[in-house]
A = this chain, B = another copy of it.
Amino acid sequence: MKAVLIVCDGLGDRPTRALRGLTPLQAARADTLNRIASEGECGIMDVIAPGQPPGSDTAHLALFGYDPYACYPGRGAFEALGVGVELQPGDVAFRCNFGTVNDDGIVIDRRAGRISSEEARQLAEALKDIRIESVSGVQVIFHHSSEHRGVLVLRGEGLSRCVSDVDTHKAGVKPAVPQPLDDSPEAERTAKALREFLEKAGKILAEHPLNLERVKRGLLPANILLPRGAGTLPKIEPITRIWGIRAAAIAGGGLYKGVARAVGFDLIQVPGANGTVNTNLRGKVEAAIRALDSYDLVFLHVKATDNVSHDKNPVKKVEVIEWISRELTPLVEKVTSEEYYLAITGDHTTPSEVGEHRGDPVPIAIMGPDVRRDDVKRFDEISCARGSLCRIRGTDLMRILMNYLGRVPLFGE
A-side residues, CB < 8 A to B, are 14-15, 23, 43-44, 48-59, 68, 72, 75, 229, 351, 354, 357-360, 369-374, 381-382, 385-393, 396, 398-403, 406, 408-413
**Considering only CB atoms, which chain B residue lies closest to A360 in the complex?**
B403
A374 to B359, CA, bound (A): 18
Residues of B within 8 A of A75 (CB): 412-413
Residues of B within 8 A of A360 (CB): 370, 372, 403
A411 touches B52 (CB 8 A): yes
Q: Is A54's CB under 8 angstroms from B372's CB?
A: no
16 residue pairs from A and B, CB less than 8 Å apart: A15-B370, A15-B371, A15-B372, A23-B372, A44-B388, A51-B396, A51-B401, A51-B403, A51-B408, A53-B403, A53-B408, A54-B412, A68-B411, A358-B406, A359-B399, A374-B385
| Residues of chain B contacted by A354 (CB below 8 angstroms) | 406
Chain B residues whose C-beta falls within 8 Å of the C-beta of A374 in the assembled complex? 382, 385-386
What's the Cα separation between A389 and B386 when bound, in Å? Answer: 9
A51 touches B385 (CB 8 A): no
Which residues of the partner chain B approach A43 to less than 8 Å between Cβ atoms? Answer: 390
Q: How many subunits of this chain does the assembly comprise?
A: 2
Q: Once the chains bind, are B388 and A385 in contact (CB under 8 Å)?
A: yes
Q: Which residue of B lies closest to A399 (CB)?
A: B51
Distance between Cα atoms of A402 and B75 in the complex (Å)? 25
Q: A15-B372, A390-B390 are in contact. Are A52 and B382 (CB under 8 A)?
A: no
Distance in angstroms from A326 CB to nearest chain B CB is 26
Indicate whether A15 sits within 8 Å of B396 (C-beta atoms), given known contacts A387-B385, A411-B58.
no
Q: Are A382 and B391 in contact, CB atoms less than 8 angstroms apart?
A: no
Contact: A413 with B56, CB < 8 Å?
yes
A51 partner residues in chain B, CB cutoff 8 A: 396, 398-403, 408
Contacting A57 at CB < 8 Å: which of B390, B406, B413? Answer: B413
A381 contacts across to B, CB distance below 8 A: 372, 388
Tell me which of B15, B44, B351 contacts A373 (CB under 8 A).
B15
Query: Closest CB of chain B to A187's CB: distance in Å?
Result: 20
A399 shortest CB reach to chain B, Å: 3
Bound-state Cα–Cα, A53 to B373, Å:
20
CB within 8 Å for A382 and B373 given contacts A52-B399, A358-B403, A410-B53: yes
Candidate in A360, A391, A412 with the most chain B CB atoms within 10 angstroms: A412
Q: How far is the CA of A15 from the CA of B41 in the complex (A)?
A: 12
How far apart are the CA atoms of A252 and B388 in the complex, in Å?
A: 33
A396 to B393, CA, bound (A): 13
Distance between A227 CB and nearest chain B CB, rounded to angstroms: 14
User: Which chain B residues border A392 with CB–CB below 8 Å?
Assistant: 50, 391
Contact B15 A410 (CB under 8 A): no
Nearest CB of B to A7, in Å: 15
With known contacts A51-B396, A391-B392, A72–B412 Cβ distance under 8 A: yes
User: Of the candidates B359, B390, B400, B408, which one forms a contact with A44 in the assembled complex, judged by CB atoms under 8 Å apart?
Assistant: B390
